[in-house]
Amino acid sequence: MTVEPPVTSRPKRGLVLVITGNGKGKTTSALGQALRAIGHGYRVCMVQFMKGKQYGEVIAAEKYLPNFKVFQYGLDSFVMRDNPAPIDVELARQGLEMARRLIRSKEYDMIILDEINVALDFNLIPLEEVLELVRSKPPELDLVMTGRYAPEQLRQLADMVSEVQEIKHHYASGIKSREGIEY
């Protein structure tokens, strides 16, 4: 006789997952998590900080995934770490405001804050506000936060932290940003 696994009934305990480190695979890991959750009927959204490009995932979400909404807050250009343009700061703050609204709305079961760690490291948004947002999130909401340089206080708040470590990257052999791999 096979024993069926128990059906998880909601409300569940939402988790805070932090994916950081200097290797490639953080955003794509969060997207894998989204796909898995969508398969179970979760409503998922992603707020992308410091990104404005038509990434494959943005196109795919619009075209094929009605349960996955993507909101972008950034330009299609690099932000200077030590001297960000006022527009970069403004967009990141708008992204944080949107994240706050989405988290409080209870319209989503999983929310991904993509590159939020970098926005924090670049001082585009205040750490204390982000920590408060995480502490006060609805208990059943899953929150996924990506980007290198995740701050120590966020690591402590999280239920799970993974660090993607670079061993080698094709960039070093001259292979530039590629469709389907980088974007």
Residues binding ligand ATP (CB under 6 A): 22, 24-28, 115, 148, 164, 166, 169, 171, 182
Q: Is the peptide bond before 126 cis (omega within 30 degrees of 0)?
A: no
| Single-letter amino acid code for the residue at 59 | I
| CA 36/CA 32 separation, integer angstroms | 6
Q: What single-letter DSSP state applies at residue 172?
A: G
Instruction: Provide the minimum distance between the beta carbon of 36 and Mg ion in the complex, in angstroms, as a whole number.
Output: 18
Q: Which of 151, 161, 158, 118 is nearest to 134 (CA)?
A: 158
Asked if 26 interacts with Mg ion (CB under 5 A), we say yes
Residue 30's H or E segment, with its range, is helix 26-39
Instruction: Provide the minimum distance between the beta carbon of 86 and ligand ATP in the complex, in angstroms, as a whole number.
Output: 23
Instruction: Provide the minimum distance between the beta carbon of 68 and ligand ATP in the complex, in angstroms, as a whole number.
Output: 16
- CB nearer Mg ion, residue 59 or residue 140: 59
**Using CB under 5 A, which of 17, 20, 27, 116 touches Mg ion?**
27
- CB nearer ligand ATP, residue 25 or residue 138: 25
Q: Tokens 């061993």 identify what position?
A: 167
- CB nearer ligand ATP, residue 106 or residue 170: 170
Residue 87's H or E segment, with its range, is helix 86-105
Asked if 51 interacts with Mg ion (CB under 5 A), we say no
- CB nearer Mg ion, residue 26 or residue 150: 26
Instruction: Provide the minimum distance between the beta carbon of 18 and Mg ion in the complex, in angstroms, as a whole number.
Output: 13
Instruction: Provide the minimum distance between the beta carbon of 150 and ligand ATP in the complex, in angstroms, as a whole number.
Output: 12
Q: How far is Cα of residue 69 from the mean position of the Cα atoms in its chain?
A: 12
- CB nearer Mg ion, residue 25 or residue 138: 25
Q: Which of 113, 116, 163, 101 is nearest to 142 (CA)?
A: 113
Residues binding Mg ion (CB under 5 A): 26-27
